[in-house]
C-alpha cells in the first residue's frame, strides 16, 4: 500500500521540495559570501606569498607592511570580487549539493553507499558553482597578486580583462579552479557528514535529542575538522590557480603554463602558504556550516548530517 505524502501547513518547508532547495541556496549565499570576505586579510597575504615567497617574511610582517602603506582598508583589498564570487559559489555549492544528494541517494542510486553519494553530490554541485565563481576569482587574484595592482575595483578589473583578452580571459583559470575546488568540496562535504555522524555516535544520543543550539555547535566542530582536511587536499591546486592568474603568458595553453610554473617552483613550491590556509579554511569552513545550519534551524529544518 502506497504511503501518503505528509501534509504540511502553510509556510512549512517540505524537505526536498523546490522551496527547500531554494532555501538551501539562499543559506549557501549567507554562509559563503560574508565568511570568505571576512578572511580577505588572510587570503590576500596567502595569494601574494604563493606567487612570490620572498615578498614578506611572515604574515604579521605582511599585514604591518600593508597597513603602513595603505591603512587598514589595504588588508581587505579585493573584498568585492571575493564577496560576489563566493556568494554565487555558495549558492551553487549548497543548493546543488542538497539537490544532488536527494537525486542520487533517493532516486538514481538508492542502494549506494552514503559516502559515495556525498562525494558524487558535492562534486556535481561544485562543478556548476565554479562556473559562477571563476570570473570573480580571476579578477580577485589579479588584483591581489600584482604590485602595483592590476585593478582597484571589481568593475575596473572586469573591464580590463575583457578589453585585453575577451570574456574567455575571465575563464582561463576554470580548469585549475575545478582541480582545486572539486576535491576541496568533496572533502568538505563528505568529511563533514561523516565527522558529524561520528560526533553524535561518540556523544551517545541521536541528533534529534539535542536542541538547535547544540546541533549547530556540532556543525561548527564538524566543519572545522573538515576544513583542515580541505586545506591539505586542495592546496597544491590553490597555489597553481594563483600562479596561473598572475603569471600566464598571452596565448599560452593551460597545461603548458602549468608545466612551466611547476619547473620554476618545484614540488615544495606547491605547499607555500599551507599553515595560514589551514587556519583560514578551518575557521572558514567551521563558520560556514554554523551559519548554514543555523539558518536551516531558523527555518524549522533539520541540521545537516548526523544520520
pLDDT at 180: 83
CATH architecture of the domain 18-299 equals Alpha/alpha barrel (1.50)
What is each CA distance from 108 to 14, 96, 102, 171, in whole angstroms? 21, 16, 9, 32
- For cell 549547530, name the residue: 216
Residues 6+ apart with CB under 8 A from 129: 88, 89, 90, 91, 92, 93, 96, 181, 185
Check residue 93 and give left, alpha or beta (phi > 0: left; psi -120 to 50: alpha).
alpha
Q: What is the pTM of this model?
A: 0.81
Name the grid cell of 23. Answer: 532555501
pLDDT at 10: 41
Within 13 A of 252's CA, how many CA atoms are on the CB side?
A: 15
Name the grid cell of 156. Answer: 575596473
**pLDDT one digit per residue (tens) for the chain, 307 residues:** 344 444 444 458 888 999 999 999 999 999 999 999 998 998 898 888 877 878 888 888 899 999 999 998 999 999 999 999 999 999 999 999 999 999 999 999 999 999 999 999 999 999 999 999 999 999 999 999 888 899 999 999 999 999 999 998 899 889 888 988 898 899 899 999 999 999 999 998 889 899 989 999 999 999 999 999 888 888 888 788 777 766 667 677 777 888 888 888 888 888 887 887 888 788 889 999 999 999 999 998 889 986 6
As a whole number of Å, the CA-based R_g of the chain is 20
Domain spans of the chain, in order of start: 18-299
pLDDT at 1: 37
What is each CA distance from 120 to 96, 103, 127, 150, 176, in whole angstroms? 11, 11, 11, 37, 19
Residues 6+ apart with CB under 8 A from 210: 200, 203, 218
- For cell 606569498, name the residue: 49
Amino acid at each position: 500500500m502506497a504511503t501518503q505524502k505528509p501534509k504540511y501547513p502553510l509556510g512549512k518547508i517540505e524537505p526536498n521540495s523546490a522551496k527547500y532547495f531554494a532555501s538551501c541556496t539562499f543559506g549557501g549565499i549567507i554562509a559563503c559570501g560574508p565568511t570568505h570576505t571576512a578572511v580577505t586579510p588572510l587570503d590576500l597575504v596567502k595569494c601574494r606569498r604563493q606567487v612570490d615567497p620572498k615578498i614578506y617574511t611572515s604574515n604579521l610582517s605582511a599585514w604591518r607592511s600593508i597597513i603602513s602603506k595603505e591603512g587598514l582598508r589595504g588588508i581587505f583589498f579585493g573584498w568585492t570580487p571575493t564577496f560576489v564570487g563566493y556568494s554565487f559559489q555558495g549558492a551553487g555549492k549548497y543548493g546543488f549539493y542538497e539537490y544532488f544528494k536527494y537525486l542520487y541517494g533517493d532516486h538514481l542510486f538508492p542502494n549506494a553507499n552514503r559516502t559515495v553519494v556525498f562525494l558524487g553530490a558535492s562534486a556535481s554541485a561544485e562543478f556548476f558553482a565554479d562556473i559562477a565563481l571563476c570570473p570573480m576569482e580571476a579578477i580577485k587574484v589579479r588584483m591581489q597578486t600584482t604590485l602595483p595592482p592590476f585593478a582597484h575595483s571589481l568593475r575596473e578589473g572586469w573591464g580590463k580583462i575583457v578589453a585585453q583578452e575577451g570574456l574567455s580571459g575571465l575563464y582561463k583559470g576554470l580548469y585549475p579552479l575545478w582541480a582545486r575546488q572539486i576535491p576541496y568540496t568533496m572533502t568538505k562535504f563528505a568529511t563533514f557528514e561523516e565527522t558529524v555522524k561520528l560526533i553524535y555516535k561518540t556523544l551517545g544520543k541521536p541528533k534529534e535529542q539535542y536542541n538547535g543550539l547544540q546541533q549547530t555547535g556540532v556543525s561548527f566542530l564538524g566543519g572545522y575538522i573538515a576544513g583542515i582536511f580541505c586545506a591539505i587536499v586542495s592546496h597544491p591546486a590553490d597555489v597553481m590557480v594563483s600562479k596561473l592568474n598572475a603569471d600566464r603568458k598571452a596565448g599560452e595553453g593551460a597545461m603548458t603554463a602549468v608545466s612551466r610554473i611547476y619547473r620554476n617552483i618545484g614540488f615544495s613550491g606547491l605547499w607555500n602558504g599551507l599553515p595560514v590556509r589551514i587556519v583560514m579554511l578551518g575557521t572558514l569552513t567551521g563558520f560556514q556550516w554554523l551559519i548554514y545550519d543555523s539558518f536551516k534551524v531558523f527555518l524549522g529544518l533539520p541540521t545537516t548530517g548526523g544520520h
